[in-house]
Amino acid sequence: MSNTTQKTPPNHMREILSQMVLSRSLSIAAELGIADLVANQPKSTLQLSQELKVNENALYRLVRVLAAQGIFELDKNKMVSNSEISDFLMEDMEGSQRNFARMMGSPWMWKIFNDLEYSIATGDSASKKAIGYENFFEYFKQESPKDGKIFSQSMSSFSYSFDQPLVNAYDFSTCKQVTDVGGAEGRLLKIIKNQYPSIKPVLFELPHAIEQAKQNDTEGILNYEEGDFFNSIAASDCYLIKYILHNWNDENCIKILQNCRKSIAPNGRVLIMDMLIKEDEPQVFEKSLDMVMLVLLQSKERTKEEFEELLNKAGFKLNAVYPTASPLSIIEGIPI
């Protein structure tokens, strides 16, 4: 029961209300590339301001508020160095979050999120209302290719850090062919192939994505199938659907899964690799990202029960859920 006699707002509420400052500040620090500038040695805020051509006092205050959260280290002489957290704002750091931070604080994102009230009232995406495009990918194409590139890079860097934990969490030894549906450049498949050499790795993607993947597959590890997962999907005994379904509403998710069901081997399995919402746990990051999916795409992060319903409607049975050492779980479905 809430304490109605309390006169002072709790500190935690004030901290939550200030998160917008931290998020935007982090995004600006990532955009400026501060972590890379202090990668080799600490620099003063004066030196950084001169290199970046920004106001020194304002830059100091930006770094100060981030350092209070453990992002960067700032000493009494205003010398800035990286912390264990800000290391991941460096461009070439394995698992870099720089582009994810840039994307989350980008003006187009904030413009859409400013219309969250519309999404709460209607249950719809606010993208068309905010930026004039129902599909923000079309906005990137028509209005801002630069933002589109940052978005693509952010999704890659964000997602790549999950690949090894996903492979570690599942036994692929009985699979003959593993098909990654919408698998971008095929990095997850390459890790699976490295650990399970007998597997045939197949990347199922749109033609332009296949061309990009081939350029990066200099050793010829992957096999390729061009197509659109809303139309049909090439046959396989194991399908990977990594971080795809959270982009789509239930109707479209069922369509993707049904296309897998039509082509899957009798003893096959579909592996949905997505965040799993747990109603009885805080999951601040996962439930915050769920709100992002609502306002951007009218989609969602899902519970185990919601994934089970999708699988059932597409002709699958939820067979098992495998936790991983990443924000994603593996939801295994088998044909019925």
**Per-residue pLDDT tens for 20-46?**
999 999 999 999 999 999 999 999 999
Percent of the chain predicted with pLDDT > 90:
88
316 vs 192: CA distance, rounded Å: 24
pLDDT at residue 1 greater than cutoff 60: no
Entry field: residues in the chain: 336
- pLDDT bin (cut points 50, 70, 90) of residue 107 is very high
pLDDT at 160: 84
84 vs 186: CA distance, rounded Å: 29
298 vs 1: CA distance, rounded Å: 33
Side chain identity at residue 119, one-letter code: S
Mean pLDDT of the chain: 95
Place of tokens 């659907």: 241
Side chain identity at residue 18, one-letter code: S
Place of tokens 């597409």: 314
Q: What does CATH list as the number for 11-101?
A: 1.10.10.10
Structure tokens at 188: 């997850």
pLDDT at 49: 98
Name the β-bridge partners of 122. none
Q: What does CATH list as the number for 161-278+297-335?
A: 3.40.50.150
11-101 with 161-278+297-335: one CATH topology? no
b vs e for 45-70, b when ≥16 Cβ sit within 10 Å of the residue's Cβ? Answer: bebbbeeeeeebeebbebbebbbeee
Q: Is 21 helix (H, G, I), strand (E, B) or coil?
A: helix
- pLDDT bin (cut points 50, 70, 90) of residue 245 is very high
pLDDT at residue 183 greater than cutoff 60: yes
Name the β-bridge partners of 180. 203, 240
Among candidates 202, 211, 191, which has minimal Cα distance to 240? 202
27 vs 21: CA distance, rounded Å: 10
- pLDDT bin (cut points 50, 70, 90) of residue 94 is confident
pLDDT at 261: 98
Please report how many Cα atoms fall inside a 13 Å half-sphere around the Cα of residue 257, on the Cβ side: 31
Residue 300: phi and psi, rounded to 5, are -165, 160
Percent of the chain predicted with pLDDT > 70:
98
149 vs 294: CA distance, rounded Å: 22
pLDDT at 135: 84
Residue range 246-296, pLDDT digits in tens: 999 999 999 999 999 999 999 999 999 999 999 999 999 999 999 999 999
The pTM (predicted TM-score) of the whole model is: 0.90
303 vs 290: CA distance, rounded Å: 11
pLDDT at 5: 62
pLDDT at residue 221 greater than cutoff 80: yes
Taking CA 156 as the corner, what is the angle to CA 151 and CA 41, rounded to the nearest 5 degrees?
90
pLDDT at residue 2 greater than cutoff 70: no
Mean predicted confidence (pLDDT) in 156-182: 94
Residue 329 CA to chain centroid, in angstroms?
13
pLDDT at 9: 76
- pLDDT bin (cut points 50, 70, 90) of residue 80 is very high
pLDDT at 224: 98
Side chain identity at residue 104, one-letter code: M
pLDDT at residue 4 greater than cutoff 90: no
pLDDT at residue 115 greater than cutoff 70: yes
**To the nearest 10°, the Cα dihedral for 246, 100, 68, 86?**
130
Structure tokens at 198: 């007998």
What residues does each domain of the chain span?
11-101, 107-156, 161-278+297-335
Q: Is 332 helix (H, G, I), strand (E, B) or coil?
A: strand
Among candidates 110, 127, 109, which has minimal Cα distance to 118? 127
What's the Cα-to-Cα distance from 190 to each of 184, 194, 226, 269, 307, rounded to whole Å?
Answer: 12, 6, 18, 19, 27
pLDDT at 106: 94
